[in-house]
Amino acid sequence: MSAQLTRPLAEQLADDFGDWQPLLQAWAAGPAGRATIAAVDARVASGAVVYPPEPFRALALTPRTRLRVLILGQDPYHGPGQAEGLAFSVPSGVRVPPSLRNIRKEIARSVGGSALGSGSLVPWAQQGVLLLNTTLTVEDGRPASHARLGWQALTDAICIEAARSPAPVVFMLWGAHAQAKAPLLAAAGPQHPVLQANHPSPLSATRPPTPFIGCGHFAEANRLLGAAGRGAIDWVLP
């Protein structure tokens, strides 16, 4: 897999995304989707280095019918070789970024395991944890560079669809960008718990009003899933 986006988005959308396919196709066929696809593909055609190579990978790895937890990030990592289409995750062997180091610290604090190790969150995705960024692409060295290209229409639709699940889904909203989606979930009902805390970035992870370090979200998610008969997530990473 290339470390940057090379395949046009329109071509990638022809891939198999299982039960997310109708939602993706509806978005791609509408004016918002067409505008976003054209804008991102135009940036690539102009020579911009865009990450990740597979912006829809989270949907490919986590079918809607297996969804148990949805974790919202902001936009992909903007350094070479980091972004792999899953919020907060980096490929195995890549140095773990600061936000992910704090995630590992909180896992070790609340459910066990080591604070050190791999940065790949693929094992979570395979257990039904949708790792979704609010913006799905970014340019090299330019954080939030694609935040105004219209990705929110798609990520809003994904959140709404997830909240329609008849089985409980735990939503984890870390930081202001993720928490801006909270109103979309408000009508979903109490069967879908929404856990909120500061972003795990070193700039905010230990600060008020709701520090990420100490939030206990991983243990709480397992308690909620267990109470609903949905089983626990193995959060401990190698």
Q: Are 162 and 194 in contact (CB under 8 A)?
A: no
Amino acid of residue 161: E
SS3 for 75-106, per residue? CCCCCCCCCCCCCCCCCCCCCCCHHHHHHHHH
Expressed in percent and rounded to 5, the helix, strand and coil fractions of the chain are: 40, 10, 50
Q: Which of 15, 19, 41, 75 is catalytic?
A: 75
Q: Are 152 and 87 in contact (CB under 8 A)?
A: no
Mark whether 140 is an active-site residue: no
Q: Are 37 and 10 in contact (CB under 8 A)?
A: yes
List, by residue number, the catalytic residues. Answer: 75
